[in-house]
């Protein structure tokens, strides 16, 4: 390895340590930290961000990035240089003081959002969000003044993604989903869901989480499960991945499928190749691809009849009172009910992407400067009515429901829909290689994880999302796999002919 590359690796190690510390703080914040402790944590995070900024923008990194190219590089080294160059461009365009200030702002915004949501009062959050939108627009212009700011933001979450692609993608989805929802509502035979009402003991649900993680083949020596307001996954490194869930006494399916979903994220991180550890390539490649893995487990596998058949005996054993007279087929239909609703994270597979489209339209306008932050609630409610046909009674279950904008994550939401559509194409490719349904029904999910590890997981950030999709599926991304899957699955469940 050339000398500059060795120095670069040492710098990557420092970045790894900083990221590790930030992730620990973030995990702590969302799980066990006391409610009135954000001030001190915000200061610590701001200082760590300042360290990171100094490390990334000091004279060392740009010098090394130049020097290192003078000697031949291995494929992995070249990918590291490319990734660091990308991060350097992104971070070096923002002045240090502004960068730290933004970090403080987002910590305060998080606390304001929590209070605003509890009180269902958008005005408590509005001043913070105004500053965040302004900062994001400014950062986007600094990074690439020639591009539309929202395109700059989309690209940060899913390299290569643009508004043009999103408009076309969402347009195609709407063309299929809107008439499908109409048919489900007007002609469909609605499955019985009465037995899902509960109550479901939290002790039983915790036991079920353990069982689900076992079936998925998640190594508990390297992955724990905690509890938080919103389920999430965070990785410190491939040997320590944390997932969380949220238990509701009246709804066991919520946590059940959160664990399957977050478990999919965790498996990805747990299977990154050892050779990438400590480098900037460790970790999933993009938000869209990460979401494709969690969605694949949650929807294409988890909400399939073979998976329900595999785990239903365990669920019944844990909850004999609620489920003694219920069959696996009835349970499968009940957890797949499709109905327009208010909350994105609780949405079914058919309506989910419409929730994303509402956020996409708002973000596009906010970042373009054609929508004022103060007008978000009214515009949100109007779009929910137009896309999903639902009336939003208050902001708590409307525009205050998601945490993402607190952290300035504009451009993130579309990757959820994209990942959901990637997942259908990946599942289809998997079916061509082995009998997916048979393996899942036998509870042999190792067939799934070894296939994904080989085609996708091992590469970390070494390959682009487009390369990984082509490598796994043998063809570029095509949303038809997703729309075809939805139509087929829901026509059967709702007995549409
Ligand atoms: Zn996810």
pLDDT at 6 over 90: yes
Q: What would the mean pLDDT of 416-441 be, rounded to a whole number?
A: 97
Residue 99 has pLDDT above 90, yes or no: no
DSSP 388-422: H------GGGTTTS-SGGGGT-TT-HHHHHHHHHH
**Adjacent-strand bridge partners of 245:** 227
How far is the centre of ligand 1, averaged over its atoms, from the C-alpha of 346 (Å)?
13
Convert the pLDDT of each residue in 29-72 to its tens digit.
989 999 889 889 988 988 998 899 999 999 999 999 999 999 89
**Helix, strand, or coil here: 214?**
helix
Residue 343 confidence (pLDDT)? 94
Q: Considering only 92-101, 378-387, 421-430, 478-487, which range has the smallest mean pLDDT? A: 92-101
For range 17-28, the mean pLDDT: 95
pLDDT at residue 82, rounded to an integer: 96
Ligand 1 centre to CA of 420 (Å) is 10
Higher-pLDDT residue of 213 and 103 is: 213
Q: Separation of 146 CA from ligand 1 center, angstroms?
A: 32
The span from the CA of 163 to the CA of 357, in Å, is: 12
d(Cα 217, Cα 448) in Å, to the nearest integer? 10
What's the pLDDT tens digit per position in 335-394?
Answer: 999 999 999 988 999 999 999 999 999 999 999 999 999 999 999 999 999 999 999 999
The whole-number average pLDDT for the span 251-267 is 97
Nearest 5°: phi and psi at 242? -115, 130
- Name the catalytic one among 52, 80, 262, 462: 262
Of all helices (H) and strands (E), which one includes residue 223? strand 223-227
pLDDT at 35: 85
Instruction: Decide: 493 and 333 in contact? Cβ < 8 Å.
Output: yes
Residue 363: exposure state from Cβ atoms within 10 A (0-12, 13-18, ≥19): buried
Write down the mean pLDDT value for the chain. Answer: 95
> How close is the Cα of 232 to the center of ligand 1, in Å?
7
Ligand 1 center–CA 483 separation, angstroms: 20
Instruction: Say how many Å lie between the CA of residue 152 and the centre of ligand 1.
Output: 22
Residues with CB under 5 A from ligand 1 (ion): 294
Q: Is the pLDDT of residue 107 over 90?
A: no
pLDDT of residue 166: 96
Helix (H, G, I), strand (E, B) or coil at 191: coil
- Predicted confidence at residue 239, as pLDDT, reads 97
Q: Ligand 1 centroid vs 298 CA: distance in angstroms? A: 10
Name the nearest CA neighbour of 371 among 143, 123, 130, 139.
130
Average pLDDT over residues 100-125: 93
The C-alpha atoms of residue 199 and residue 249 are separated, in whole angstroms, by 5
pLDDT tens string 300-348: 999 999 999 999 999 999 999 999 999 999 999 999 999 999 999 889 9
pLDDT, tens only, 216-253: 999 999 999 999 988 999 999 999 999 999 999 999 99
Tens digits of per-residue pLDDT, 299-312? 999 999 999 999 99
Query: Strand, helix or coil at 245?
Result: strand
Q: Which of 58-67, 103-112, 194-203 has the lowest mean pLDDT?
A: 103-112
Whole-number Å distance between alpha carbons of 482 and 356: 15
CA distance 475 to 79: 22
Ligand 1 centroid to residue 231 C-alpha, Å: 9
Residues 53 and 91 sit within 8 Å (Cβ to Cβ) = yes
Q: Are 233 and 225 in contact (CB under 8 A)?
A: no
CA of 261 to the centre of ligand 1 (A): 6
Residue 407 confidence (pLDDT): 92
Q: What is the pLDDT of residue 292?
A: 98
Residues constituting the chain: 497
Tell me, in angstroms, the distance from the centre of ligand 1 to residue 233's CA.
8
- Residue 102 near residue 52, CB atoms below 8 Å: no
At residue 100, does pLDDT exceed 90? no
> Got the DSSP string for 449-491?
HHHHHHHTGGGTTSS-HHHHHHHHHSS---THHHHHHHHHHHH
Could you tell me how far CA 132 lies from the centroid of its own chain? Answer: 21
pLDDT of residue 427: 98
199 upstream amide cis, omega within 30 of 0? yes
* Catalytic residue check, 262: yes
Rounded to the nearest whole angstrom, what is the distance from the C-alpha of residue 169 to the centroid of ligand 1?
20
Rounded-to-integer distance, Cα 138 and Cα 147, Å: 12
Q: What pLDDT was estimated at residue 327?
A: 97
């Amino acid at each position: 390895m050339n000398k500059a590359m060795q120095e670069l690796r040492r710098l990557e190690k420092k970045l790894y340590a900083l990221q590790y510390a930030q992730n620990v703080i973030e995990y702590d914040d969302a799980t066990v930290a006391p409610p009135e402790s954000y001030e001190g944590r915000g200061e610590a995070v701001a200082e760590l961000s300042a360290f990171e900024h100094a490390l990334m923008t000091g004279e060392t990194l740009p010098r090394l990035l130049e020097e290192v190219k003078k000697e031949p590089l291995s494929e992995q080294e070249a990918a590291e240089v490319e990734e660091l160059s990308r991060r350097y461009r992104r971070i070096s365009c923002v002045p240090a003081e502004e960068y730290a200030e933004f970090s403080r702002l987002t910590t305060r915004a998080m606390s304001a959002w929590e209070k605003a949501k509890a009180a269902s009062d958008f005005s408590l959050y509005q001043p913070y969000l105004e500053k965040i939108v302004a900062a994001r627009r400014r950062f986007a212009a600094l990074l690439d003044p020639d591009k539309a700011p929202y395109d700059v933001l989309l690209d940060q979450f899913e390299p290569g993604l643009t508004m043009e692609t999103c408009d076309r993608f969402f347009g195609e989805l709407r063309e299929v989903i809107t008439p499908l929802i109409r048919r489900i509502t007007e002609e469909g035979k609605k499955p019985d869901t009465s037995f899902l009402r509960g109550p479901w003991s939290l002790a039983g649900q915790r036991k079920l989480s353990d069982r689900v993680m076992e079936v998925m083949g998640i190594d508990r020596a390297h992955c724990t499960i905690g509890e938080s307001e919103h389920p999430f996954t965070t990785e410190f490194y491939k040997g320590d991945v944390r997932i969380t869930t949220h238990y509701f006494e009246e709804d066991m399916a919520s946590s059940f499928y959160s664990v399957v979903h977050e478990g999919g994220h965790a498996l990805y991180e747990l299977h990154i190749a050892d050779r990438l550890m400590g480098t900037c390539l460790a970790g999933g490649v993009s938000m869209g691809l990460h979401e494709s893995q969690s969605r694949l487990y949650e929807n294409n596998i988890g909400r399939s009849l073979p998976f329900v058949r595999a785990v239903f005996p365990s669920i019944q054993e844990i909850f004999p009172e609620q489920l003694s007279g219920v069959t696996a087929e009835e349970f499968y239909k009940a957890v797949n009910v499709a109905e327009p609703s208010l909350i994105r994270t609780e949405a079914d597979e058919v309506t989910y992407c419409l929730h994303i489209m509402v956020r996409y339209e708002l973000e596009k306008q906010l970042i373009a400067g054609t929508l004022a932050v103060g007008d978000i609630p009214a515009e949100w409610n109007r779009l929910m009515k137009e896309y999903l046909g639902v009336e939003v009674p208050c902001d708590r279950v409307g525009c205050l429901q998601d945490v993402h904008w607190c952290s300035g994550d504009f451009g993130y939401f579309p990757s959820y829909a994209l990942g959901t559509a990637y997942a259908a194409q990946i599942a289809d490719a998997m079916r061509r290689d082995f009998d997916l349904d048979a393996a899942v029904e036998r509870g042999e999910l190792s067939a799934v994880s070894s296939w994904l590890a080989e085609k996708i997981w091992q590469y970390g950030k070494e390959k682009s999302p487009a390369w990984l999709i082509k490598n796994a599926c043998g063809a570029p991304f095509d949303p038809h796999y997703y729309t075809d899957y939805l139509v087929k699955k829901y026509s059967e469940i709702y007995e549409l002919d």
